[in-house]
Amino acid sequence: MAVTEDSNLQALSIVLLKETVEGVDDAVRHAGGLHRVDLTTTVGLQSTLLIKRPRSHTPDWARFFEGVVDAAEFGRVSSSAAILIVTVEGRLLVLTFGQGRFLLKPDIVEERFGLKVCLNTIDETAIRSIDKRSFDALLTQSRVQTSRAAPIGEFGLDIEQDLLRAATGKPRDTSIGERISGLDNLSVSVRISLRDLAFLLPKYQQAHRSTRYRRAFPWVDQIVPVNSADEVGRLNDKLITRLSGADLSGVWLALPDVVDWNRVHGFRYGRRATLPLHYDIHISEWLDDVGRPDSLTIQFLERKRVLASDEHGEDIHDWSVFRCLYCEIEEGSATYLLSAGLWYRVKKDLVAQVNDTYQQIPRRSEALPVFSQASEGDYNVAAAEGHPQAFSCHDGRLVRVPGAGSGVEICDLYSRRGELIHVKRYAGSSVLSHHFAQAVVSAETLSLDASAREQFSAQMQPPFRFDAQRFRASDHTTVLAIVSDQPGDLAIPFFSRLNLRQACRRLTAMGFPVQLAKIEVADQTRVKKLYLAS
């Protein structure tokens, strides 16, 4: 293809259809009602252009002025839609124009086609923007742009906690585009004519098949969201099979959002106020409450509710059971995870690495006091009052850091050993990740700010002492304590284990030893809450 400066700069949006899609009728909604033009001769590859003839209508926003201004004053608008379907090496590539993407049937697009083409063709030192999803405490999604082309390392991407969803950059070979970006669809700005597609599209097809990106971006395939309806359906079927059987290993319920535990008095599996109130949520208890139905479905799980109530019986949180479900399914070289209603495919070797790190984190050798209170705050106070020579309570006692918008809580409990103990009720990934992040902020505050150390020292009462002048991080173990009534060893979701690994790395890099601790729940606490509303 001879590209010259005189060639038009054309914006193209391209998708690759799945191998199961064999022709136009498999790909397009209402194909019979579209105008068809055969462009095979012009393009040089088997090509069909499908056009939806536009229909004009009054703009939707004209209704805002109804009764005041005649709609005819605003004129009429119309939207155009067309798709060009091209067969390239036995696969169908679709170029969409206008509203053309809405002409395609759902769930027929090859996932991550655009992302793979982009990563395989761009200069890794000339990236302009990335879209990422973070698996940190907030499960955030964001776009990071730079004022100039830059390497991936300058975008603040945490390769263990961030999922790369899209990227934009300049290709090494400018004949395939001056700018290129994509996730599922590929967006390019390229100097091209219609007759040049026979050269250009095979280049994209080859770039999609290439594994070159794994050298520069080896972490990209570690965690991938599952978007295919067929694959999601298959995984949902396996989830239902697991729930319907006797073996519930790898499946549990966990709160999908951060909650104020000082307000949460208990949980009900339904909206009726007469239903029993549970101390925590457990999949076995939920199945018993609903009578272990013979025909579980995803729709049933989405319909059924988990509600959190305060001490007055008022509902303060409401989730579907499906959104609270956490599930791990192993298949071949991958592990599939259901978290907060979404499925992810994770490489098994990453799962093994994270699990190995989790097992190696030291556990506190001496058990912390049993949890028998209504809230974390009450527990922290009771632990200090019940063991005045062992623990000092610092829950809610903040230190102020110059320039910070809010105060920092150094720990919930401080021990005679100098341990910084952070206490959190067990819940889902976002809650525990928030717990670990708070511990890191606390450690950074002590490490970097002398005034924070002085303020924390001033909180101490004999026999406790914190030496602000001779502070050494190695003298203060960070204890991440989790209240859980799960039997056996503490089990937390994969994304929490992933975030815990990162938190441990940051803490140990600052010199703080790290330990995990499971706080057991008193039997009478579970029983009391279970029958409180019955």
Q: Is 209 helix (H, G, I), strand (E, B) or coil?
A: helix
- Write down the pLDDT at residue 137: 44
CB-CB contact of 191 with 15 (8 Å): no
Average pLDDT value for the chain: 86
Rg, the chain, Cα only? 29
Cα separation of 212 and 119, whole Å? Answer: 8
Reported as a single tens digit per residue, the pLDDT across 151-165 is 776 776 666 666 777
Which range, 113-127, 251-265, 378-392, 426-440, has the best average confidence (pLDDT)?
378-392
Task: Report whether pLDDT(364) > 70.
Answer: yes
**Residue 452: pLDDT over 60:** yes
Q: Report pLDDT digits (tens) over 26-57.
A: 999 888 889 999 999 999 999 999 998 888 88
Q: Are 137 and 430 in contact (CB under 8 A)?
A: yes
What pLDDT is recorded for position 420? Answer: 98
pLDDT, tens digit (0-9, with 9 covering 90-100), for 206-216: 999 998 888 88
CA–CA separation, 128 vs 268, rounded Å?
A: 48
Tokens describing residue 22: 């064999």
> What was the pLDDT predicted at 533?
43
Nearest in space to 254 (alpha carbons), one of 284, 280, 278: 280
Comparing CA positions, the residue from 368, 366, 498 lying closest to residue 424 is 368
Helix residue spans in 369-491 (DSSP H): 376-386, 429-448, 450-458
The answer to whether the CB of 475 falls within 8 A of the CB of 504 is no
Give the model's pLDDT for residue 156.
66
How many CB atoms are located within 10 Å of the residue 462 CB?
6
pLDDT of residue 138: 42
Give the lowest-confidence range in 82-86, 195-199, 423-427, 481-485: 423-427
Task: For residue 39, report the phi and psi dihedrals to the nearest 5 degrees.
Answer: -110, 20
Point out the least confidently predicted range of 100-109, 221-230, 322-331, 445-454. 221-230
Q: Which helix (DSSP H) or strand (DSSP E) does residue 306 occupy? A: strand 305-309
User: CB under 8 Å to 337, separation ≥6 — which residues?
Assistant: 326, 327, 328, 329, 343, 344, 346, 493, 494, 495
Please say whether the beta carbons of 21 and 92 come within 8 A: yes
With CA atoms as reference, report the closest residue to 521 among 358, 283, 280, 286: 280
Coil, helix or strand at residue 416 = coil
The answer to whether 324 and 338 have CB atoms below 8 angstroms apart is: no
Predicted pLDDT at 330: 85
The residue extents of the domains of the chain are 229-357, 361-528
The H or E element spanning position 25 is helix 24-27
Query: Does pLDDT of 400 surpass 70?
Result: yes
Name the E strands within 137-201: 141-150, 162-171, 179-182, 186-191
500: helix, coil or strand? helix
Proportion of the chain above pLDDT 90, given as a percent: 43
Share above pLDDT 70 across residues of the chain, in percent, rounded to a whole number = 92
What does the alpha-carbon distance between residue 391 and residue 257 come to, in Å, rounded to a whole number? 30
Query: Tokens in use for 531?
Result: 């029958």
What is the predicted pLDDT for the residue at 428? Answer: 63
Q: Which residue has the higher pLDDT, 533 or 376?
A: 376
Q: pTM of whole model > 0.85?
A: no
pLDDT of 520 reads: 93
DSSP letter (8 states) at residue 256: S
| CA–CA distances in Å: residue 29 to residues 35, 37, 256, 273, 362 | 13, 17, 36, 47, 58
Between residues 135 and 63, the one the model is more confident about: 63
Question: What's the pLDDT band for 78 if we cut at 50, 70, 90?
Answer: confident
Residue corresponding to tokens 């670990």: 436
Judged against a pLDDT cut of 60, whether residue 264 lies above it is answered with yes
Tokens 């007469």: give the residue.
Answer: 274
Angle, alpha carbons 143-147-153 (nearest 5°): 65
Mean pLDDT confidence for 517-523:
91
